[in-house]
Chain A
Amino acid sequence: MKIHEYQAKELFRKYKVPTLANGVATTVDGIIAEAAKLKLPVAVKAQIHAGGRGKGGGVKLAKTAEEVKKYANEILGMTLVTKQTGPEGRLVKTVLVEEGCNIAKELYLSFIPDRATSTVTIIASEAGGMDIEDVAANTPEKIIKVQINPTTGIKGFHLNQVAFGLNMPKEVLKEFAGVLRGLYQLFIDYDCSMVEINPLVITGDNHIIALDAKLDVDSNSLFRHPDIVAFHDPNEDDPLEAAAAKFNLNYINLDGNVGNMVNGAGLAMATMDIIKQVGAEPANFLDVGGGADAEMVENGFKIILSDKKVKGILINIFGGILRCDVLAQGVVQAAKAVNLNIPVVVRMEGTNVEEGRRILKESGLTLITAKNLADAAEKVAEIVK
C-alpha cells in the first residue's frame, strides 16, 4: 500500500530522519494558512501516489505569499498527469507546503527487499534528483548496492559502504549514519516494500535532509499496522478496483474491451495473454480465487458489467475442488441475477465438466460454450470485433 509524501515524512520524523518544516491542507485557504507559518520561499507540492509530479506541473516554488495563493489555486483540484498516472491523470485533493533549504548536493537513497537474496537492499547514488532507472541504465557505476541480512540488522560496515560509496564529506558522516539507521528501522518496523528518497540532500551547512519521500508498505502486513491503514486515501483508488476489493476479488482495470473472469492468478494472466494473441484486448485482470464459488462469480459479473468498455466476456474456470457443475450453476444463477446483456463465452474444464456444460446449455441463457482455451479466445475476439 502506497502512502503520500507528507505521511511518509511523518514516519520519517518518528525515526529522526530530518525533513523540512511543512504543513498539509486540502483547501486554498488552508494552504495559505499553513504557508504563513513557514519561512518563504516554500515548495507547493501536489500529494498523489505517483512519481514525476514536478515535470507534470504539480510542484512549484513560491517566493511570495501571492505566489503561494496562485500556485495553491493552480495545483489544488488540477488533474495531474505524470508518466506514472497514465493519460487520465490524478485529481489533486491534498497539497503539502514546505520550507526550502540551501542545497549543496543531491543524492539518491532507497531501501527495498531483495527477493533473490532475502535481504534488505540499500540502493544509493550520487546522481540524486534524477530518474534512478535512467542512472542504472546509463551509468551503472554510479549506483551502490548494500545488502543487509535482517537476522543481523544494519551494522557499522554497512553504513561505511554506503557513506564512502557516496563520497560523503566527513562533516556529515555521523548525521548520515543516523539517517541510515533510522530508515532501516522504519523499513523493518513497518514491513516496507520500498522507501525511496530522491533527492536526499546535503545542505550548505552540512546537514542531511529528506527532500522527498516515497513509501510503500507490504499489503500482506497491514494486519499489524493499523496506523498505515489509517493513511489510506480513497481518492487514490480506482473505483472499480475498490468495489472489487470489497468482494475480496483480485481485480485490475485495463484498457481493452474483453472482460474476463478466471480462477487463479496465473491462469488469469495467461487468459489475458491469449485474448491479446487472438487480436483483442483484455478489459481487466480478474482472479476470483482458486476456490471460487457461485457468489464470487456473481460479484465478478457485477464488477465486469460496471465497466462500460466491456463488449464481451470470457469466463475461464478450471474446476478442481469446486466442481464444474457447481460452478456452472453459479454462472447461470449469477447471469440471471445481474441481468446479463453482453455475450459471454464460457470455457470450463476439470471435474464434472460434462455435467457443467449441460447445465450451461440448458439454462436458457445465450452463453457460448467453448471447447478449449484457444477456441474460447477466438470466439470472444469474434464478438468484440
Chain B
Amino acid sequence: MSVFLDKNTRLLVQGITGKEGQFHTRQCVAYGTNVVAGMTPGKGGQKMDGIPVYNSVREAAEATKPNASMILVPPPFAADAIIEAIDSDIALIVCITEGIPVMDMMRVKNYLAQKPQCRLVGPNCPGLMTPGECKIGIMPNSMGKAGGPVGVISRSGTLTYEVMHQLTEVGLGQTTCIGIGGDPINGTNFIDCLTAFNDDPETKAVVMVGEIGGNAEEDACAFIKANMDIPVVGFIAGLTAPPGRRMGHAGAIVSGGKGTAEAKIEAMKAAGVHHCDNLGKIGELAKKVF
C-alpha cells in the first residue's frame, strides 16, 4: 500500500513540451509512471515521445481521464496552471515550480478550499514517489526502496533524497515519499501526510523532515501527540540560520522570533517524536525506533 499515488495513477504533465517538462516526463516514464497526456497551450495535436499533447487541461482530461497532474511551467504562469487543474477536478496536482509569488498562492489556496476532491502537493517541491510503482516529480529514479514500511515527508528536496538514501542503506524501504515543498504557502501539509500514513496499513513509521519558518511543524506535532498510532522520527534543519534571512527556500525564514528550529525541536520532543539531532544518523535512528 501507499498514499496518494500508485500503479493506477494516470498522469498528465502541464508544460510537457518545455525543456524541464520533456526531461522529467521521460524520467517519470522510465520509472514506470503511466503518463497519459501532456498539455501546452498552442501545442495541441503534437506528440511528445508518443504521449498526446493537448491545448488545455479540460481537453486532456476528457480524452485521457488523468487522475494526477504534474506542473512544470515557469513561475509567472504556474498559479494559473494549478487553477486550471483544479477546474478540471484533477485529484492529485503536483506543482514542482519554484518562485511563484505568495499572493498568487494565496488565491490558489483559497480557491482550492472550495474543491475538497483536489489535493495540491507543492509548489517548490520535488514531488512524490511510491518506490517501485510510481513517481511524480523530479526525484532521482535511483532513489528509494520498494515495499515500505516507512513513510517520508519533507519540506526540502535534497533532504528527502538524503533520508531515502539512509533508510535504504539500513534496509528500510518506503511506502511513499512526499516532498511538500519549501514555500510559505503550500497545498498539502505535514498533517495531511501524517493522516494518510496513519491510515495506511503498510506504513509502520514516519520520518518527518522540517525546517525553520512558519509553524507547520508545531501544528504537526500537536496532531502527532493526539492522533498518531505509529512512531515518528523527526529532523529540523536550520539551527544555525541567522534570523531575518531567507535560507534558499522562500518559506525558510525566522522572523519576529517565530519559526525557530529550537521551538520546532521542543515541539517534537514534547509530542514524543524521536528527534534526530544529527542528519547523518537519521537512518540509524529510524532503524532503532522501528
Known: A191-B102, A320-B140, A321-B27. A266 touches B182 (CB 8 A): yes
**Residues from chain A with Cβ under 8 Å of B107 in the complex:** 150-151
B242 interface hit (Cβ, 8 Å): yes
Tally the A-B contacts, defined by beta carbons under 8 Å: 167
Interface membership of chain B positions 177-200, coded 1 if the CB is closer than 8 angstroms to chain A and 0 otherwise: 000001011000000000000000
Q: CB-CB < 8 A to B109: which residues of A?
A: 118
Residue ID in chain A nearest B214 by CB atoms: A115
Q: What is the predominant secondary structure among interface residues of chain B facing chain A?
A: loop
List the A side residues contacting B209 at CB < 8 Å.
Answer: 266
Residue B8, interface by CB 8 Å: no
Q: Which residue of B lies closest to A50 (CB)?
A: B244
Would you call B110 and A269 a contact (CB within 8 A)? Answer: no
Tell me, in angstroms, the Cα distance from A302 to B28 when the chains sit together.
35
Cβ contact of B239, chosen from A113, A252, A273, A351, cutoff 8 A: A273
Q: Which residue in B76, B102, B105, B212 is a CB contact (below 8 Å) of A193? A: B102
Interface size range on B against A: 35 or more
The reply on A5 being an interface residue by CB < 8 A is: no
Nearest A residue to B141 via CB reads A321
Report A141 CB to chain B, min CB distance, Å.
18
Q: Which of A119, A223, A272 contacts B241 (CB 8 A)?
A: A272
> Chain B, 123-150, contact with A by CB distance < 8 Å: what is the 0/1 string?
0001000000000001110110000000
Query: Hey, what's the 0/1 contact readout for B153-173 against A, CB within 8 Å counting as 1?
Result: 011111101100100000000
Q: Is the CB of B103 within 8 A of A320?
A: no
Asked whether B231 is an interface residue with its Cβ less than 8 Å from the other chain, the reply is no
Closest B-chain residue to A190, C-beta based? B103
Q: Which of A219, A264, A372 has the most CB of B within 10 A?
A: A264
Q: Contact partner of A84 among B102, B105, B244, CB < 8 A?
A: B244
Interface residues of A in 224-275 (CB under 8 A from B): 224, 250, 252, 254, 262-275
- How far is it, in angstroms, between the C-alpha of A250 and the C-alpha of B279 when the chains are bound? 21
Chain B 240-282 interface mask (CB, 8 Å, partner A; 1/0): 1110110111111000110001000000000000000111110
Residue ID in chain A nearest B27 by CB atoms: A321
**A residues 69-86 with Cβ under 8 Å of B?**
84
Query: Known contacts A220-B250, A274-B278; is A267 also within 8 Å of B156 by CB?
Result: yes
Whether, in the assembled complex, B91 has its beta carbon less than 8 Å from a beta carbon of chain A, the answer is: no
CB within 8 Å for A264 and B159 given contacts A150-B106, A320-B140: yes
Using known A-B contacts A113-B184, A151-B107, A250-B248, determine if residue A269 contacts B211 with beta carbons closer than 8 Å.
yes
Residues of B within 8 A of A252 (CB): 242, 245, 247
Tell me, in angstroms, the Cα distance from A267 to B185 when the chains sit together. Answer: 21
The reply on A287 being an interface residue by CB < 8 A is yes
CB distance from B141 to the nearest CB of A (A): 8
Instruction: Give every chain B residue within 8 A of A272 (Cβ-Cβ).
Output: 240-241
Picked from B185, B244, B249, B281, the residue with its CB within 8 Å of the CB of A265 is B249
Q: How far is the CA of A161 from the CA of B35 in the complex (A)?
A: 51
A375 to B278, CA, bound (A): 12
Question: Closest B-chain residue to A189, C-beta based?
Answer: B103
- The verdict on A342 contacting chain B, using a C-beta distance below 8 Å, is no
Whole-angstrom distance between the Cβ of A229 and the nearest chain B Cβ: 14
Bound CA–CA A14/B214 (angstroms): 32
With A272-B241, A274-B278, A321-B140 as contacts: A149 and B158 at CB distance below 8 Å: no
Q: Report how far A210 CA is from B37 CA in the complex, Å.
A: 54
Cross-chain contact B247 with A372 (CB below 8 angstroms):
no
- Given A113-B184, A266-B211, A321-B27, verify A118-B110 contact (CB < 8 Å): yes
Provide the bound-state CA to CA distance between A61 and B219, in Å.
47
Residues of B within 8 A of A276 (CB): 239-240
Residues of B within 8 A of A274 (CB): 278-280
Which residues of chain A from 313 to 327 have any CB-CB distance to chain B below 8 Å in the complex?
318-321
Residues of B contacting A285 in the complex (Cβ-Cβ under 8 angstroms) = 241, 245, 247-248
Q: How far is the CB of B42 from chain A (nearest CB, A)?
A: 21
**Which residues in chain A, 126-155, are within 8 Å of chain B measured between CB atoms?**
133, 136, 149-151
Which among A188, A265, A375 has the highest number of chain B CB atoms within 10 Å? A265
Docked complex Cα distance between A263 and B140 (Å): 14
Q: Is the pair B256, A269 in contact by a Cβ cutoff of 8 Å? A: no
A270 to B211, CA, bound (A): 9
Instruction: Find out whether the CB atom of A133 lies under 8 angstroms from the CB atom of B101.
Output: no
Interchain nearest-CB distance for A216 vs B (Å):
10
CB pair B100–A220 under 8 Å, yes or no, is yes
In the complex, the answer to whether B237 meets A266 with C-beta atoms within 8 Å is yes
A151–B158 contact, CB under 8 A? no
Chain A residue contacts of B240, Cβ below 8 A: 254, 269, 272-273, 275-276, 282
Task: Give A149 to B109 CA distance when docked, in angstroms.
Answer: 11
| Distance A290 CA – B256 CA, assembled complex (angstroms) | 29
Contact A265 B165, beta carbon cutoff 8 Å: no
A350 within 8 A of B: yes
B286 to chain A, nearest CB (A): 15
Q: Is the CB of B159 within 8 A of A266?
A: yes
Chain B interface (Cβ within 8 Å of chain A)?
Answer: 27, 75-76, 99-103, 105-107, 109-111, 126, 138-140, 142-143, 154-159, 161-162, 165, 182, 184-185, 209, 211-212, 214-216, 219, 235, 237-242, 244-245, 247-252, 256-257, 261, 277-281
Q: What are the 8 A-B residue pairs with the smallest beta carbon separation, nearest first?
A: A266-B156, A265-B248, A264-B158, A320-B140, A373-B280, A221-B101, A266-B159, A374-B280
Given contacts A113-B106, A116-B215, A290-B138, 13 further A-B contacts (CB under 8 A): A119-B106, A150-B103, A191-B103, A218-B101, A265-B247, A266-B252, A269-B238, A272-B241, A273-B279, A282-B240, A318-B162, A318-B165, A377-B280
A-B contact pairs, 12 of them (CB 8 A): A113-B184, A118-B110, A120-B106, A151-B107, A220-B100, A264-B248, A266-B154, A268-B247, A269-B211, A273-B239, A275-B240, A290-B158
